[in-house]
Structure 1
């Protein structure tokens, strides 16, 4: 299975998965035109659409894509998402015949109350919950919910390719280095990201194992991260540490 991040809108990625026979799956199409162009350029046939949550920059292109012909649309159970042919929940399996792929659904609330991820074909399609060296803002969930969701993702196999939906990696890395300035793996990842962005290349996908070594939001139990949280007034419990990190990232400018 080939996986391509298709740039869209200001900084979104729409994920295009396809096989050598030319059958394709699209994940979180916030607009149709970039995907239509990518499908035409590669001679691909759209077979299914996967949606992680209701925000318009993830679902805004669905209607226009369906205008070319009906395909199944999988999404969480949420009345704010239209055009859904199969609503899915935690533990469900999504099986697509062409291209041959099977995904397990994980409910990961926090960014939104109904956010889900799809795990399969060597990929973690995580929408706006987990970003490279960062995580999503808490629009509808609590710090406790978001931390539980991130813990759940961090427990998945490290070889999974993290396919998140925004190119936020460089800014996330700058914040992460203020938390863990001595983290050698983080410094290496930041340098890799710098080189990729200088060439206008995507920083994604990235191995989940790399995220576990570099992402402060997955490292609230790490000594250096905990020490940073203490200096910033967080209590000793994990949720407070996560909340302190998220609040600091919300205000971070660099």
Structure 2
């Protein structure tokens, strides 16, 4: 099973997960071009197109891909803003494509209908396609949901097995690291991850996928019960936060206006 991020637009990733049969899951094709180029170079065909949310930079290329591969099934959010004929699975719904077992998780916050796909294949670590909900060392902005929804969504993702490979929708790791280290300057795992990510970007390599285990150790938005993160939120608020949700909300608002 080969997992590959295809660069698109400014900092998007389209994810392609291939099997030995020359078939692939194509996730969040914001453009058709990178997928067509990769398919021509490596001789694969889409087994399915998976869409995490309605934003144009995650869905705009899907229609063009369907013009080439007419019968490709599409799975996406229950949202009329995605104008495609597709399956709109319920939270917790599972389905199989080839040897992949895929479970859908509804994770509102970034958008009200955002979903993630948890993919298992025997003999390989599971894969999470999480769109713009979870980023390495960060999380998505709250465009349509509130802090409680997003904190709950992140908690569901954080509960997945630590070895789960996390495939985010954007290359934001270094920008997120600049904020995370202000929140937790003494986090040794975070500093190792920052160094690793900088080396990767200097070599023009993606910093993704990350893993759930790495994010639990480094990502402040998944660490809202850790004393150092609570202390940082307390300093920001001028008082102790009431709980995880207020800690999260404080970090998210802080990050929204953060300039490294």
Q: Is 1:147–1:239's contact at 8 Å kept on the other side of the alignment? A: yes
Deviation track 1:121-143 (CA, whole Å, cap 9, x = no partner) reads 31011000000000000000000
Aligned partner of residue 116 in structure 2, secondary structure? strand
Equivalent in the alignment of 2:45: 45
Aligned partner of residue 76 in structure 1, secondary structure? coil
Equivalent in the alignment of 2:201: 197
Aligned partner of residue 67 in structure 1, secondary structure? helix
Tell me the CA shift for residue 236 of structure 1: 2.7
Equivalent in the alignment of 2:154: 150
Equivalent in the alignment of 1:253: 259
- 5+ residue gaps, structure 2, are 121-125
**Correspondence list, 1:43-122, <5 A:** 43-70=43-70, 71-97=72-98, 100-121=99-120, 122=126
**Correspondence list, 1:96-245, <5 A:** 96-97=97-98, 100-121=99-120, 122-233=126-237, 235-245=241-251
Aligned partner of residue 137 in structure 1, secondary structure? coil
Equivalent in the alignment of 1:18: 18
Between Structure 1 and Structure 2, how many residues are aligned?
A: 252
Deviation track 1:195-235 (CA, whole Å, cap 9, x = no partner) reads 00000000000111000000000000000000000000062
**CA–CA distance in structure 2, aligned partners of residues 103 and 33 of structure 1:** 26
Aligned partner of residue 76 in structure 2, secondary structure? strand
Deviation track 1:22-49 (CA, whole Å, cap 9, x = no partner) reads 1111000001001110111111112210
**CA–CA distance in structure 1, aligned partners of residues 50 and 105 of structure 2:** 13
Q: Is 2:230–2:241's contact at 8 Å kept on the other side of the alignment? A: no
TM-score, normalisation: structure 2: 0.95
More divergent stretch after superposition (177-186 vs 13-22): 13-22
Q: Is 1:75–1:84's contact at 8 Å kept on the other side of the alignment? A: no
Equivalent in the alignment of 2:123: none
Query: Structure 1 runs of 4+ off > 3 angstroms?
Result: none
- 5+ residue gaps, structure 1, are none
Tell me the CA shift for residue 238 of structure 1: 1.4
Tell me the CA shift for residue 53 of structure 1: 0.5
Q: Is 1:6–1:16's contact at 8 Å kept on the other side of the alignment? A: yes
Aligned partner of residue 86 in structure 1, secondary structure? coil
